[in-house]
Amino acid sequence: MKHFNFDKAYSLYANGSIGRRELEEAVFRHILANARKFYPKNSGEDERADFVSWLYPKIRRAIDIYRNVGSSFEAYIHSVVRLSVKEYRWRRTEMDILKYATWVIKAYQQYLRQAEPEYSRLENAAPARKVKNPRQLLILALKCYCYVSEGFLEKIAARLGVPAEVLREMFGRLREARRKRDERMRRLRESVQGQNCRCLVYKKRISLLKYDTNTRMRMEVRLEKALGRRDAMQARLEGISPFASNGQVVCVLGLSKGSADASLFQLKAKWKMLQGGSLLN
């Protein structure tokens, strides 16, 4: 490898023998030709090429900042490259960690959003029969409005013997009454997901750090605090009931609160009798 004299090149630039562009090209051409020397040996060709492309603007700024006082131009450029290698590898590691956390969260969300299985419908299926106590079914459906899909709503309407539009209007009025609380739950869910992502990033960073180092200990403290905040937000989220209150249900139906309480009590008693009480204890 032919040695490149950085100091001589800068002296020619300083006395006007060569221009700024010639100095930049000479310095950058030497770095590009000896990328293996400046960048770690265990890196690939693509990674070194990306680093050299990312380094070019820094070399241009370094030439502007350099003053011929103290260290030589060669030592100065080598220091710039060495510090730039550390910064680039840190940025690349941070990007890999963020990608890892993003894909973990995305995979979890895709798992939660999996479509429900579709069951084949019989062409000659018997029409839905009306229930014996339609009031109980209606109150229960409104109580659990957040778990009722559009298809399930139509099935409930068929069982009740009422048009689906009428039942859909009731659900719409109930959702409007619960809008603020539902919005609060949505924001809390997003905060919990963001905190989960932050915890994943901290855990990944800790796994890449050496044991018994100050940086690792500080990161472990951050992780502990982040886990505490996540658990606190999760507890607040679980404290908000996703079900409509009995008062909200009776406001939609125009009934007394005692009627809703009695209907739900009877349904709960029937459920306990069918399940032996094991699921509600």
Q: Supply the pLDDT for residue 232.
A: 92
Read off the tokens for 48.
Answer: 């070194």
Q: How confident is the model at residue 40 (pLDDT cuts 50, 70, 90)?
A: low
Return all residues near 51 (Cβ < 8 A) that are at least 6 apart.
Answer: 35, 39, 43, 84, 85, 88
Q: Supply the pLDDT for residue 11.
A: 87
Q: Are the C-beta atoms of 130 and 160 separated by less than 8 Å?
A: yes
Q: Please count the residues of the chain.
A: 281
Q: Report the C-alpha gap between 32 and 28 in whole angstroms.
A: 6
Three-class SS string for the chain? CCCCCHHHHHHHHHCCCCCHHHHHHHHHHHHHHCHHHHCCCCCCHHHHHHHHHHHHHHHHHHHHHCCCCCCCHHHHHHHHHHHHHHHHHHHHHHHHHHHHHHHHHHHHHHHHCCCCCCCCCCCCCCCCCCCCCHHHHHHHHHHCHHHCCHHHHHHHHHHHCCCHHHHHHHHHHHHHHCHHHHHHHHHHHHHHHHHHHHHHHHHHHHHHCCCCCHHHHHHHHHHHHHHHHHHHHHHHHHCCCCCCCHHHHHHHHCCCHHHHHHHHHHHHHHHHHHHCCCCCC
pTM, two decimals, is 0.50
Kindly report which listed range (103-107, 129-133, 183-187, 237-241) carries the lowest average pLDDT score. 129-133
Please name each of the domains of the chain with its CATH number. Answer: 6-93 (1.10.1740), 130-178+244-281 (no CATH)
Closest CA to 27 of 74, 79, 87, 86: 74
> pLDDT of 110-157, one tens digit each?
666 655 555 445 444 455 555 567 888 888 888 888 888 888 888 888
pLDDT tops 70 at residue 185? yes
- Mean pLDDT for 10-34 is 84
Read off the tokens for 240.
Answer: 């908000």
- Mean pLDDT for 15-28 is 85
> Count of CB atoms within 10 A of residue 105's CB?
15
- Mean pLDDT for 252-278 is 75
Q: Are the C-beta atoms of 139 and 263 separated by less than 8 Å?
A: yes
What is the average pLDDT value for the chain, to the nearest integer? 79
